[in-house]
A and B are shown apart, each in its own frame.
Chain A
């Protein structure tokens, strides 16, 4: 009986989720069939901006199988709230009314003009062709800088501007650092890439800054591309007032509130279920017009309504990620110590504000200083409306953008000072700390030890040998050059303290709920407010509960994703689930043990303070033979006929955990590339990632999260990017030409970990879901630029496609021979806008 109990936390046990998924028994939303169910299909705008001058659905109604067809005017009274946005980032923010179906003007390709409901999806699709609609095309706003110019067409005429908001934050005096006269003089070298705007000026503050880096980076729009497209089934709840909606979402609990706000249906008459969900990556952290419409039509028609988007709709009408133009300035002394940073962002809202659109860039604003300590920081963010698909959260959501900017600028600084990129990072790291420490933007980082992570990465990469090989290839003029790129990053996880979210302008709390129930048979139910869609919460939460309760993970069933089963929750996004939701499970399970001790004391006729709990047994201190198993205690609690005086029956404890702070995982990545200078092709030869997300509950799942995040980060760096033409037509409208990478395009990863616990929660855990998408893009681009730097190449925009790399080489060679060329790969592709035919 003295045998140490098995501990499950820290073990990479195979997932409990898998059996259904590998055998085809998963319950995807599109699997759901209900009696009388009809299919809803949208008529979508082929124009980025146009007036709808004629709209008549009557001919469609005559088509076989068609049950109903509606215009926006027909249904407008059903959505008093429109599609809600939950973020207000400044008092002046302009928030347009966002109708599920437009009534006057279409504002992006894919905007919804009418809806058809038919017996099956084939009939619905056919009927769309019989809707009579005339458009009067209008000039579209497709470029953020043009959008802000006087006289630009307006996405929303009534605002009189395309500016959604301007957000500013200042810490320390960056103006003093940066303001300067036209002539940088001898005080320092100013780096001017081809993309620099050329408005530099210097004043006496330049005395402090020996070097100023001033660069423009583009965060291209990305398509999140969950492999399962969006799908919803809404139906009147049989036997109840109200509606049930099964929907492929990360946020059933938020959806319940938002659908109520949009439709006026009381919140307590809406039940939202997220069944198996085939990936989200932020794109399903939203409540879409189609979900609202499905409920509205289920109400109107009194029958189940299904919506399933196809991939082209997914690319036109599901949110896009990123979409920023970043002007970044970094001031440093001659030792490479950063003195200050100034950032100006243009952030592409698209045509409407989805759930969190305006807050994405804001949530990354304080992360621009990265893992470096300095005093002065300022940022200005302008949100800009365009006639493009709305943007919102995509894996990382604001932080990859920030990390890329600082990590690219650090490499430029190192190059300017002829300093090793690892060394310049070390010079600016925080000394290791384990108590909250303010960053230059005032954010309280929780615990860091960057030095250890970077040392380990350098060791794993065999860094000196790589530099040696690089030198040899350079000397031999090898057509294939070697690049070594660093990225030392942190991310903000564990969204989040409710007070901090309020500060960001996000409506709604950042807490999470868990209930742990010991059943009379000794089995355990854990109900969690998190809503997994691939992250393995059923497994990890079982491990946490099993360790606290002294049972096995197989004894634990994790319930999630149904507002009928788990009434309160704040769902899954922002790498919050473990650091908030997992901690709620931990606390609730401990509350079960605390109550169990009282019952055990009563059963064992001992004092409560003498009861110990270990290995699933309550025993009397010093008399281990006097014990009772947790199953028997649960049974007694359930029977309720012999409990301590005044105690409520059942072992059923709930915890709502609101964390005191965010968590800040960090790490050091090294990307080794081989760049074919003849073709522009980039091959990742090795990718080393040493990540620190605190103690790990399930290392197999953590590694999997890293693999997937790195893949998406590499994809942003090398492959993916939304392309629109000048009329606002989406050219990357299917997987044929939107370049999500396949197995041959991606490398294996060399992973390792350091462990620096967070002081923000009792397990010290931090979160890991977005580490890869944050750390990887700058590591890859730094590597490609490093390979080509002897040619004088300072920057290549993402995605660094073969053509872009080749163009950069061509331009560099042209510049070397005194032949000045415009680099079309820089800036021209701002937010993915194609400029002319021949890049």
Chain B
């Protein structure tokens, strides 16, 4: 077991964890932050995407011990004083989700990407989301949502 301290969505947690505990399981089962999901177990689908120090990472391919001392943001940490992040609003307004299972990961990957490239074109956005699979929407509305959010945050 190993002692870790992480700040998740602004709250500092300390826990003893097994080194092999995957970050996604720590978040879901240790902290009950169930907005982060497992889809593929092989780092392909991105359903487990969270922000590590502000950058998108796949929490199914990261041990919780690797996050020791770092800041994590999950989808539950995106709101400010109860107001949705512009990306959440854009997903809703553009019908960029159906079943919603990929949505938190998709939103976080998009938030991370816009920090790196605030003015992406459509092709940029599609490439930036290459590591997040959606089976419901065919992606067109997701791309539109990211374009809308880019327009609002840049």
Contact = CB atoms under 8 A, between A and B. Distances in A.
A815 to B, nearest CB: 37
Contacts of A712: 135
Interface stretch (A20-28, A316-324, A450-458, A558-566): A20-28
Interface in A116-133: 120, 122
A15 B136 CA distance: 15
B39 A229 contact: yes
Contacts of A291: none
Contacts of B126: 743-744
B130 A534 contact: no
A20 to B, nearest CB: 8
A228 B41 contact: no
Interface residues of B, number: 59
A469 interface: no
A28 B24 CA distance: 15
Contact of A24 (B40, B76, B138): B76
Interface stretch (A147-155, A204-212, A410-418, A700-708): A700-708
B42 A736 contact: yes
A298 B28 CA distance: 23
Interface string A671-712: 000000000000000000000000000001101100111111
A520 interface: no
B103 to A, nearest CB: 5
B59 interface: no
B65 interface: no
Nearest to B126: A743
Number of chain A interface residues as a range: 35 or more
Given A14-B95, A225-B135, A744 B127 contact: yes
A437 B137 CA distance: 34
Contacts of A310: 38, 41
- Majority SS at the chain A contact face: loop
Interface stretch (A174-182, A275-283, A607-615, A659-667): A275-283
Interface in A293-331: 310-312
A244 B33 CA distance: 24
A743 B125 contact: yes
Given A734-B40, A735-B44, A22 B101 contact: no
Contact of B135 (A30, A311, A740, A748): A740
Contacts of B92: 14-15, 18-19, 22
A704 B123 CA distance: 20
Contacts of A533: 99
Interface string A706-738: 011111100000000000000000000011100
Contacts of B138: 707-711, 746, 749, 772
A301 B105 CA distance: 36
Contact of B37 (A19, A23, A28, A704): A28
A528 B125 CA distance: 38
A732 to B, nearest CB: 12
Contacts of B44: 734-736
A31 interface: yes
A277 B37 CA distance: 12
B91 to A, nearest CB: 5
B37 A743 contact: no
A746 B143 CA distance: 11
Interface string B4-46: 0000000000000010110000001100111111111110110
Contact of A28 (B20, B33, B34, B95): B34
B150 interface: no
- Lowest 4 CB-CB distances: which A-B pairs, in order? A24-B35, A278-B101, A21-B100, A534-B99
Interface of A: 12, 14-15, 17-26, 28, 30-31, 33, 120, 122, 225-229, 276-279, 281, 310-312, 533-536, 700-701, 703-704, 707-712, 734-736, 740, 742-744, 746, 748-749, 772
Given A23-B79, A24-B104, A25-B35, 13 more contacts: A18-B100, A22-B104, A227-B39, A227-B101, A311-B42, A534-B98, A711-B137, A734-B44, A736-B44, A743-B139, A744-B123, A746-B139, A746-B140
